[in-house]
């Protein structure tokens, strides 16, 4: 798939290192799908959709910082939408996310509410300044917020909000965020793993299922094409939360 040219129509600051970009194209993505964004002269990196025509970018390194710095009228190349996306199931759902990982969940929650589902959210951030999309989640239904430093909501990691919820009440649970946050949740809620869809992050190069960069041990699931949404029971039996491969293919620690 060749990249298509796209013009950035609008940029909004969400947090000190997070911005949302409106694209001049609606690629008709499903929530959880991603797009490879080619920042010319720098790199091509994966980004989830935070809406039908938006991506929400956290500046963490060279390519994301270059994208983060683009303004209205700048152009990027796009390949997508790619990957499988979340599947909406049941009548009552729970969204659980951390940091910029809440972006695809806001998009998903809006589709779920339009379809008549009851939506609740548990969201975690490092501090209140890092909080994004509060209005979007609160418009969907009950929203619990945690912050690592206690500056807003429950003091602690996302998992510290679990005590406020009865997970048996939800038909389906949707998860996205830093790997160790997701691992913490999945390993504490194993009896719900068969109804938990997690949107995960691996090092993507081709995003076409060819290079093997994103494969998950032990069964070789290609996260770029068979994911990035993976059922949590499959993750419990995998490398997830234990190690991950970097740009050279070598194993390294999980982050977040
Ligand atoms: C399916 C998917 C959806 C994503 N959605 C979003 C999103 O909505 N918003 C957002 O801010 N970020 C998202 N990311 C993460 C984003 O792609 C990385 O932060 C970005 O690629 C980092 O590149 P860099 O050059 O800025 O940083 P680097 O300095 O290269 O690395 C910083 C960190 O990002 C990781 N990383 C670097 N390149 C890639 C790559 N090609 N694929 C995966 N991880 C990489 C590195 O392992 C390192 O931990 C997503 C990643 C995936 C796989
Ligand atoms: S990134 Fe190449 S196979 Fe997934």
- Give residue 63's domain range: 4-82
What is the DSSP-derived secondary structure letter of residue 60? -
Q: Are residue 133 and residue 26 in the same domain, yes or no?
A: no
Closest approach atom of ligand 1 to CA 50 = 8
Whole-model pTM? 0.96
Is 120 among the domain residues?
yes
Is 232 among the domain residues?
yes
Q: Are residue 108 and residue 16 in the same domain, yes or no?
A: no
Is 87 among the domain residues?
no
Domain's final residue, options 82, 113, 132: 82
Closest approach atom of ligand 1 to CA 224 = 1
Q: Are residue 74 and residue 126 in the same domain, yes or no?
A: no
Q: CATH number of the domain that 146 lies in?
A: 3.40.50.80
List, in sequence order, the alpha helices (H) in the chain: 62-68, 102-114, 134-138, 179-188, 223-226, 232-236
Tokens at 173, concatenated: 């649970």
Query: What are the contacts of 57-65 at 24+ separation with CB within 8 A?
Result: 57/18, 57/19, 57/20, 57/21, 57/100, 58/17, 58/18, 58/99, 58/100, 59/17, 59/18, 60/17, 63/39
Q: Could you tell me if the CB of 127 is within 6 A of ligand 2?
A: no
Element (H, E) at 97: strand 92-98
Span between the terminal Cα atoms of the chain, in Å: 32
Phi-psi region of 32 (alpha: psi -120 to 50; beta: other; left: phi over 0): left
Is 205 among the domain residues?
yes
Mutate-to-test residue for ligand 2 from 201, 203, 207, highest number of ligand atoms within 8 A of CB: 207
Domain's final residue, options 82, 103, 138: 82
Closest approach atom of ligand 2 to CA 224 = 4
Q: Which ligand is nearest to the CA of 17?
A: 1
Q: What is the pLDDT of residues 165-205, one digit of tens each?
A: 999 999 999 999 999 999 999 999 999 999 999 999 999 99
Q: What is the pLDDT of residues 193-240, one digit of tens each?
A: 999 999 999 999 999 999 999 999 999 999 999 999 999 999 999 999
Q: CATH number of the domain that 53 lies in?
A: 2.40.30.10
Q: Could you tell me if the CB of 210 is within 6 A of ligand 2?
A: yes
Is 215 among the domain residues?
yes
Q: How far is the CA of 241 from the centre of ligand 2 (A)?
A: 19
Q: How far is the CA of 15 from the centre of ligand 2 (A)?
A: 30
Domain's final residue, options 82, 108, 134: 82
Closest approach atom of ligand 2 to CA 205 = 1
- Counting beta carbons within 10 angstroms of the beta carbon of residue 67, is it exposed (0 to 12), middle (13 to 18) or buried (19 or more)? buried
Q: Could you tell me if the CB of 68 is within 6 A of ligand 1?
A: no
Q: What is the pLDDT of residues 47-95, one digit of tens each?
A: 999 999 999 999 999 999 999 999 999 999 999 999 999 999 999 999 9
Q: Are residue 68 and residue 176 in the same domain, yes or no?
A: no
Instruction: Give strand pairing partners of 198.
Output: 175, 230
């Amino acid at each position: 798939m060749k990249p298509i040219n796209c013009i950035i129509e609008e940029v909004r600051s969400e947090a000190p290192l997070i911005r949302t970009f409106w694209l001049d194209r609606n690629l008709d993505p499903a929530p959880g799908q991603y797009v490879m964004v080619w920042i010319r002269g720098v790199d091509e990196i994966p980004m989830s959709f935070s809406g039908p025509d938006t991506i929400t970018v956290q500046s963490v390194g060279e390519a994301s910082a270059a994208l983060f710095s683009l303004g209205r009228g700048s152009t990027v190349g796009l390949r997508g939408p790619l990957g499988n996306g979340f599947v909406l199931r049941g009548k009552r759902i729970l969204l659980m996310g951390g940091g910029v990982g809440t972006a695809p969940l806001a998009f998903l929650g809006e589709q779920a509410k339009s379809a008549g589902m009851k939506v609740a959210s548990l969201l975690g951030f490092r501090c209140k300044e890092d909080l994004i999309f509060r209005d979007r989640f609160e418009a969907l239904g009950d929203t619990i917020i945690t912050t690592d430093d206690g500056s807003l909501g429950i003091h602690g990691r996302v998992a510290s909000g679990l005590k406020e919820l009865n997970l048996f009440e939800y038909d389906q649970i949707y998860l996205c965020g830093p790997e160790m946050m997701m691992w913490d949740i999945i390993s504490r809620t194993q009896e719900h793993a068969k109804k938990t869809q997690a949107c995960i992050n691996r090092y993507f190069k081709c995003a076409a299922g060819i290079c093997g960069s994103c494969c998950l041990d032990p069964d070789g699931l290609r996260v770029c094409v068979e994911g990035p949404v993976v059922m949590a029971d499959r993750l419990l039996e995998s490398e997830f939360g234990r190690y991950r491969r970097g740009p050279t293919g070598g194993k390294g620690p999980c982050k977040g």
